[in-house]
Amino acid sequence: MEKNVLILGASGDIGNAISRQLADDGYRLILHYHRNMKALEQLIVELESDEQILQIVRADLSKEMEAQRLCEQIAYPVDAIIYVSGTAHFGLFQDVSEREMDEMLTLHVKSPWLIIQYFLPSMIRKQRGKIIFITSIWGNIGASNEVIYSSVKGAQNSFVKALAKEVGPSGISVNAVSPGFIDTKMNRSIADEEREDIIAHIPLNRAGLTTDVAHTVHFLMDERSNYIHGEIVNITGGW
């Protein structure tokens, strides 16, 4: 069982749900956030007495130097990495600035490269480890007005499949969870008419819950799922 879990993006709705689930499962957590420390405060109050939160680190992972600094700040061995950090980008592709492109690439692609590369040698030495990405349905099928986001999520999916082949012989499991329309703060801001239209196209006729994603991560973290490798697990309600 991988005990010390680094969760990158723990302050978001999905990251928070994953943190709670893994704490319930008995894992010790190293939690990363960027701006929203308040979202972690309740989790800290609930879990601090159980000594399950080892460390909290702050970093803006859209900046390469901060990703490197985050790695150097972590004071504990890392047995598993869950990369939840990310942000959507809405708008026409023709209007995207080069700065926005660079920030999205760094946040979703280069920062996870750097962080995983930093901790991978110790996992290889131990011949065990878990790496899980939270990607997106758009990384598989693409979305109009979210071309940049779709591109970087597609890159994450490809990275998972390729890295799994490379590190599988070292006993390291690499997978991704790909959510569809999940009931998060960001999606609650969508106009009612648009939300209803999306849900009308989901066979289960509801938005997904953050716990749906967290339970899937729980499943992939379990040693009994070790033969699942290099997979993109869709959590979409059939959308």
Question: Is 65 part of any domain?
Answer: yes
CB 106 within 8 A of CB 68: no
Residue 149 bears catalytic tag: yes
Residue 205 inside a domain? The answer is no
- Tell me the CATH number at 93: 3.40.50.720
Which domain does 172 fall in, by range?
4-182+211-232
- pTM tops 0.85: yes
Kindly name the residue from 33, 76, 149, 227 that is annotated as catalytic: 149
Q: Would residue 191 count as lying in a domain?
A: no
Tens digits of pLDDT across the chain (239 residues): 569 999 999 999 999 999 999 999 999 999 999 988 888 888 888 776 567 899 999 999 999 999 999 999 999 999 999 999 988 888 999 999 999 999 999 999 999 999 999 999 999 999 999 999 999 999 999 888 899 999 999 999 999 999 999 999 999 999 999 999 998 877 766 778 888 889 999 999 999 999 999 999 999 999 999 999 999 999 999 88
Does residue 76 fall inside a structural domain?
yes
Cβ contacts of 239 within 8 Å, gap of 6 or more:
137, 180, 181, 198, 201, 202, 203
Does some domain include residue 239?
no
204 in a structural domain? no
Q: Please indicate, yes or no, if residue 71 is contained in any of the structural domains.
A: yes
Q: How many domains does the chain have?
A: 1
Rounded CA separation 40/214 (Å): 16
SS3 193: helix
187 lies in a domain? no
